[in-house]
Amino acid sequence: MHQYSKKYSENLPVGSLGLIPLKGCQALGASVNDYLVRWRMERSHKHIGNLALLGYQRDSYIIDAEVPRFGSGEAKGIINESVRGDDLYLMVDVGNYSLTYSLCGHQNHMSPDDHYQDLKRVIAAVGGKAKRISVIMPFLYESRQHKRNGRESLDCAIALQELVNMGVDNIITFDAHDPRVQNAIPLHSFETVQPAYQFIKGLLRTEKELKIDSSHMMIISPDEGGTNRAVYLANVLGLDIGMFYKRRDYTRIVNGRNPIVAHEFLGSSVEGKDMIIIDDMISSGDSMLEVATELKKRKANKIFLASTFGLFTNGLKKFDDAYDKGIFDRILTTNLTYQTPELLQKPYYINCDMSKYIALIIDTLNHDASVSELLNPVERIQKLLKKYRQEQQL
């Protein structure tokens, strides 16, 4: 039973809990559901006879919902059971490109746009009958198009406004590319959650001989945009920080952006130290690998690449080659977005499971309790470090 169970045994839930993992997020949704079922079966709630707790303990909280498609590629959302008065949590992975649908006889891979439209279809199918709707969208839709330079669309801001206009009460995302995008919906609940604890847990579980102090380890931000992320982790672990900034060629545009000419390093000596390079996503992976290469040139010891979302848009071959050359030691990403079977089998890959964390957030919100403690995992990280150091002394 988790530590919050006693606190929740006093609170009445907002409404009957319902979980709708959309297609592409069903494995993560099933794992989250398993935690919720187990915790609530073990919990002795003081109001268990109260009508408000009818259905509090169930075999599953997953609501039967689907989004079938017509032969033309059009679709509709269907809810196959009553959700009246429910506290609904919709989970969507907009980055799951492995799913396909038939479009006039052709196989079409689902894009982020398709997943986002399916989310809106399910919200529309609920038809305003739920008591509250929360959207858990780990990889925030269009979050890379979060600010305007010249005549450009602001896709993420528009999407957030669309969701709240459809009746969504809470939007929960992980490691948003730029959290300031929530300024588009200033009167509504928007949480961006950091998986720092899960990264440290995954790393310490796998690597048993790390010395976590400023003499032996550093946190590296691969660019200026991710500095806050690196500063937080460095402060919690008591480490120094180093930063690269990207020198770009602003006279050319390649694949929609100005190409990077060089990565320039700011920070103290990295010689002989272990490096944790942390970023929000690995897209093609070029930046991460170039930074790792630069650190190796400066005689860094072990190098760990940690990223919330491992997209690997250009495949894994360049990572295999870099690993064989000793450029990095481990890659840590979460299961918040689609992971290929090939990735999960790589000897250098550490999968950081986020399902328990998501289940905690859902359980907390359903009981109308504060999630502040969950969003700042400093105490849990310190406990983890203490235990790790004690085990090393044995």
70: its two tokens: 């017509």
- In angstroms, what is the C-alpha Rg of the chain? 22
CA–CA separation, 302 and 18 (whole Å) = 44
The predicted pLDDT at position 51 comes to 59
Kind of pairing between the strands at 78-79 and 65-66: antiparallel
Sign of the dihedral through C-alpha 282, 285, 291, 297: positive
CA–CA separation, 284 and 315 (whole Å) = 8
The predicted pLDDT at position 245 comes to 81
Sign of the dihedral through C-alpha 6, 7, 12, 18: negative
Query: Pick from 76, 67, 66, 82: which is nearest to 18 by CA?
Result: 82
Count how many residues are written for the chain: 394
Q: Which helix (H) or strand (E) holds 306?
A: strand 303-310
Per-residue pLDDT of the chain (394 residues; tens, 9 = 90+): 456 555 666 677 888 999 999 998 999 999 999 999 998 888 776 666 665 667 788 899 999 999 999 888 889 999 999 999 899 999 999 999 999 888 888 889 999 999 999 999 999 999 989 999 999 999 999 988 888 888 889 999 999 999 999 999 999 999 988 889 999 999 999 999 999 999 999 999 998 888 999 899 999 998 877 788 899 999 999 999 998 887 788 888 887 777 877 777 888 888 899 999 999 889 888 889 988 999 999 999 999 999 999 999 888 999 999 999 999 999 999 999 999 999 999 999 999 999 999 999 999 999 888 888 888 889 899 999 999 888 887 7
The predicted pLDDT at position 77 comes to 95
Query: Pick from 227, 189, 244, 105: which is nearest to 364 by CA?
Result: 189
The predicted pLDDT at position 10 comes to 67
The predicted pLDDT at position 7 comes to 65
Q: How many helices (H) and strands (E) does the chain have?
A: 12, 16
Residues 6 or more apart in contact with residue 281 via CB below 8 angstroms: 139, 177, 307, 308, 309, 310, 311
Cβ pair 192, 173 in contact under 8 A: yes
Q: Which burial class, exposed, middle or buried, applies to 285 when counting CB atoms under 10 A from its CB (0-12, 13-18, 19+)?
A: buried
The predicted pLDDT at position 355 comes to 94
The predicted pLDDT at position 178 comes to 86
Q: Which burial class, exposed, middle or buried, applies to 354 when counting CB atoms under 10 A from its CB (0-12, 13-18, 19+)?
A: buried
254: its two tokens: 């390649």
Residue labelled with tokens 């907390």: 364
Residues 6 or more apart in contact with residue 231 via CB below 8 angstroms: 221, 241
